Amino acid sequence: MASKEQTLSVWGDKVHPKVRISGSGAPLVYFHGGYGLVETELIDELSKNFTVYALPHPGLTEGDEDAIKALDDFWDLVLYYYDLFDKLGLKSPAVVGHSFGGMVAAEVAATDPTRVGKLVLVNSLGLWIDSKPVRNYIVTAQAELPALLFKDEHHPALKRIILNPEDHAGFIRITWALGCTGKFYWPIPDKGLSKRLHRIAAPTLLLWGKSDKLLPLDYAEAFKRGIPNAKIETIDGAHMMPLEQPEEVAAAITKFLK
């Protein structure tokens, strides 16, 4: 699918993201997970039906790494994305967020309900259940990540999240992505979102992996209790199902948004 990159100046000219725009059709904003914009197959699938705006997290645009210093906390991050939506001329687009990106997407939809037309949260962070604590994958031993995050512990996409000392560029990319995203949710991904979920006005799909060991289905149920008229749909997958099963994830998203 043909795509282009648009470089913008945001946050008082302190952040210069390169937004990947692909496909045609109604606008869809995609917020990536904690490992950066690695869900390329899912974005390509979604681009078959939508104009997809894949938003890189501050600091994750090559040549603009220092941009992460311009934002201090999670509230800064939410306001930054308001600015980015405005720069792109996006008025109430569909918004899809995976994992950390789901946490951001839900907060944008809760703090300003007019900014999101429809919302899809895929295995989303953002809440905390004392009896089912969320494991901090940033500090989890690398050998334990395949079982924690993937259904297929030998899936080729593992190389996008596992640190390999022999892959110098990949090692730096993964470490930096975790640092830039972790700044806004470490050590516990609970910034009070549960108190604001009732403000989400957008029709919401909670798309969850039945085998998600990082965020079991209890978290989908917690989101559903908080978001008016939200619905849950499950896929026989794990936390990283956007990497393992992009076609199935895209089909469920497309069906809901259409």
CATH number, position 114? 3.40.50.1820
Domain count across the chain: 1
The pLDDT score that the predictor gives to residue 3 is 87
Domain span at residue 213 reads 3-257
Cβ atoms of 123 and 208 within 8 Å: the answer is: yes
Handedness of CA 181, 186, 189, 193 (dihedral sign): negative
Strands 231-235 and 50-55 turn out to be unpaired
The pLDDT score that the predictor gives to residue 1 is 62
Q: Which of 82, 79, 100 is nearest to 90 (CA)?
A: 82
Strands 50-55 and 18-22 turn out to be antiparallel
pTM, to two decimals: 0.97
Strands 94-98 and 118-122 turn out to be parallel
What is the spatial distance between Cα 102 and Cα 231, in angstroms, rounded to a whole number? 15
**Helix axis angle, 74-88 to 100-111, nearest 10°:** 80
DSSP 51: E
The pLDDT score that the predictor gives to residue 225 is 98
Per-residue pLDDT of the chain (258 residues; tens, 9 = 90+): 678 999 999 999 999 999 999 999 999 999 999 999 999 999 999 999 999 999 999 999 999 999 999 999 999 999 999 999 999 999 999 999 999 999 999 999 999 999 999 999 999 999 999 999 999 999 999 999 999 999 999 999 999 999 999 999 999 999 999 999 999 998 899 999 999 999 999 999 999 999 999 999 999 999 999 999 999 999 999 999 999 999 999 999 999 999
Q: Vertex 256, ends 255 and 258: CA angle to 5°?
A: 65
Cβ-based neighbours of 240, under 8 Å, separated by 6 or more: 149, 150, 155, 157, 161
